[in-house]
Amino acid sequence: MSGPFPGVNNQRYSYDLSGVVGGGHIGYNWQVSPNWVFGFEGDGEATSVRDSGIGTLGFFHETHLNWLASARARMGYAAGNTLFYVNGGAAFGEVEVTKAVVPGAAPFARYTDTLTGWTAGAGVEHMFAPNWTGRLEYRYTDLGDTSFQSVAANSQDYATVKFHAVRAGISYKF
């Protein structure tokens, strides 16, 4: 929704963000018994996650997740060379919202905010060669809500950033 003055220039937008996320991760694991593994991980990623829409008054609106990072605890069960795990922790991301008169026009309003939220998921990691593992993981991330205001543009926009992601990766273990 946009427009700080009730009934004046209030618009509604609704769309689902999609795109690709890529980056790196680092972590440490402790195998505390023959089968139980505990650890922590952190990651940083650039994204192409975005979408756009036309509001009820016809203005073009776009939301873009510029970057994403997280710090998570991890717990898993090792069965041979395969680890089944769950993880969760803090998530961070930069959200940019722009508004323009029509698609392709220069935005008349642009807002950027760094959000903090949470993430949790589960996955499977398999050692396929000495010191090398491959992983497949599902994670849900909730960066919460933010609002952007511009009295000059009579604009107050709200963004809720929540998403599901399937991730694949390769890791080298020291």
Structural domain boundaries in the chain: 39-172
* Residue 50 CB-density burial (10 A; 0-12 exposed, 13-18 middle, 19+ buried): middle
Please give the pLDDT value at position 12. Answer: 60
State the fold for domain 39-172: Porin (2.40.160)
| pLDDT averaged per 10 residues, the chain (length 174) | 52 73 95 96 94 78 92 98 98 91 85 94 97 97 83 70 92 92
Please give the pLDDT value at position 116. Answer: 97
Please give the pLDDT value at position 89. Answer: 98
Residue in the structure block whose two tokens are 């949790």:
120
Please give the pLDDT value at position 171. Answer: 95
Please give the pLDDT value at position 6. Answer: 53
For residues 87 and 72, is the Cβ–Cβ distance under 8 A? Answer: yes
Question: Which of 134, 142, 143, 144 lies closest to 167, judged by CA?
Answer: 134
Please give the pLDDT value at position 10. Answer: 55
Cα 82 from Cα 35, distance rounded (Å): 10
For residues 76 and 86, is the Cβ–Cβ distance under 8 A? Answer: yes
How are beta strands 21-31 and 36-54 bridged, if at all?
A: antiparallel
